[in-house]
């Protein structure tokens, strides 16, 4: 593996702080490095690999479609894309879909669509501690200055309200507000879950004032939270939903879903994507989403997520750094008192053959594949229970 580390450091731009491990193959909830050591994957490529690694549904779909057609461009009708769009529409509150390649691109499309919806309005209200992507407009919508540092001037028109604070939200909207951007669970912000009352109040305000409600479901979509989409927990219907991560089961795809009256603002020539929704990724994505829906993985995420949070809370009670566990379904955050301690937990987990990550400053993130079993959760919980002993 040393040659991999050397060549990566020598030839790849160093914008990632990588752990010194490289994986050769994966199977189910496990990854294997080039020395054959197994790692229990509770990060799933940051909530991407919803079916784990080398799942037959994904592998077979890639093989089948790759032998037929990979790419043609959106100058032509694409059957696989239409089939995927139909599946997403029939299982959501939306009516039309635009496909792209990533979460940031989906959010860029949402920003553009919101400004087209009422051309007299241009402001977007998002939340403090939010994260919407690394492109300039998505970065401007992100309510964390640490990601924005060095990239001024950012696009104008973005305002940040305190998460779960309705009175502060009311101070941030005005006659020029086109849309509100909401993550039901702030992923990069620390696995912060939105209050149901807060979401209901914001949604009702948007409806009463002709402001679009955009749900960023990049990380929460495709069964992650125990519902196919996280908005279903809140009893509302967003005007726009953005998806990526788990949508492709490992292949890069993003999507914007919208209500018909909103979607129609994207007329001919207003937006596009060369690779978006090509035959290969669309076919694989439809296979992944269909499998999640038809094989009980959504309810499984709810049940096993509750089990994991209960067990973690139980074993961490005597840890002086422990501050609580947050989340929905299999999107779980363990909050500690100090950032350095949270960093040390992630490093020690890696040393023990477990892959987890950080979200925000003091939260350890656990987002295993939706195929995870209780025995895998127990192994990770046992690691957390041993933290005071190490």
Contacts of 144 (CB under 8 A, 6+ apart): 128, 129, 130, 131, 188, 189
Q: Which two tokens mark 365?
A: 């993130």
Listing DSSP states for 182-229 in one string gives E-SEETTTTSEEPPHHHHHHHHHHHHHTT-EEEEE-TTTTTTTTSSSS
Catalytic residue list contains 291: no
DSSP 8-state secondary structure symbol assigned to residue 16 = S
Catalytic annotation, pick one of 131, 169, 184, 336: 131
What is the per-residue burial (b if ≥16 Cβ within 10 Å, else e) of 85-113?
A: bebbeeebbbebbbbbbbbbbbbbbbbbb
Report whether 325 contacts 333 (CB < 8 A): yes
Question: Which residue in the list 216, 227, 259, 286 is annotated as catalytic?
Answer: 216
Local structure of 89: helix, strand or coil: helix
**Catalytic (active site) residue 146:** no
- 76 backbone dihedrals φ, ψ, rounded to 5°: -130, 160
Query: Is 169 in a helix, a strand, or coil?
Result: helix
Q: Which of 163, 169, 213, 245 is catalytic?
A: 245
Mark whether 184 is an active-site residue.
no
Question: Looking at the annotation, which residues are catalytic?
Answer: 131, 216, 245
């Amino acid at each position: 593996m040393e040659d991999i580390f050397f060549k990566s450091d020598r030839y790849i731009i160093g914008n990632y702080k990588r752990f010194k491990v490289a994986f050769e193959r994966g199977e189910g909830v496990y990854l294997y490095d080039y020395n054959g050591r197994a790692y229990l994957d509770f990060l799933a490529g940051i909530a991407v690999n919803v079916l784990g690694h080398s799942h037959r549904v994904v592998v077979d779909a890639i093989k089948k479609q790759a032998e037929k057609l990979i790419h043609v461009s959106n100058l032509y009708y694409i059957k696989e894309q239409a089939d995927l769009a139909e599946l997403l529409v029939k299982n959501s509150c939306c009516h039309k879909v635009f496909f792209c390649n990533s979460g940031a691109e989906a959010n860029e499309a949402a920003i553009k669509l919101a400004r087209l919806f009422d051309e007299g309005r241009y402001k977007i209200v998002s939340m403090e501690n939010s994260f919407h992507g690394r492109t300039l407009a998505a970065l401007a919508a992100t309510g964390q200055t640490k990601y924005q540092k060095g990239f001024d001037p950012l696009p104008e028109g973005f305002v940040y309200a305190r998460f779960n604070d309705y009175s502060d939200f009311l101070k941030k909207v005005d006659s020029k507000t086109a849309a509100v951007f909401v993550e039901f669970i702030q992923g990069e912000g620390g696995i912060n879950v939105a209050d149901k009352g807060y979401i209901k109040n914001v949604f009702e305000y948007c409806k009463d004032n002709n402001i679009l409600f955009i749900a960023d479901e990049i990380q929460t979509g495709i069964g992650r939270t125990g519902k196919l989409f996280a908005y279903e927990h809140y009893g509302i219907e967003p005007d726009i939903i953005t998806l990526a991560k788990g949508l492709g089961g490992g292949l890069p795809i993003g999507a914007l879903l919208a209500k018909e009256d909103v979607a129609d603002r994207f007329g001919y020539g207003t937006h596009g994507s060369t690779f978006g929704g090509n035959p290969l990724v669309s076919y694989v994505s439809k296979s992944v989403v269909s499998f999640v829906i038809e094989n009980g993985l959504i309810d499984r995420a709810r049940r096993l997520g509750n089990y994991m949070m209960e067990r973690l809370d139980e074993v961490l009670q005597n840890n002086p750094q422990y501050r609580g566990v947050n989340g929905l379904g299999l999107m779980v955050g363990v909050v500690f008192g100090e950032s350095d301690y949270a960093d040390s937990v992630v490093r020690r987990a890696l040393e023990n053959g477990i892959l987890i990550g950080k979200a925000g400053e003091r939260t350890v993130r656990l987002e295993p594949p939706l195929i995870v079993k209780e025995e895998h959760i127990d192994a990770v919980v046992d690691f957390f229970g041993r933290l005071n002993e190490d």
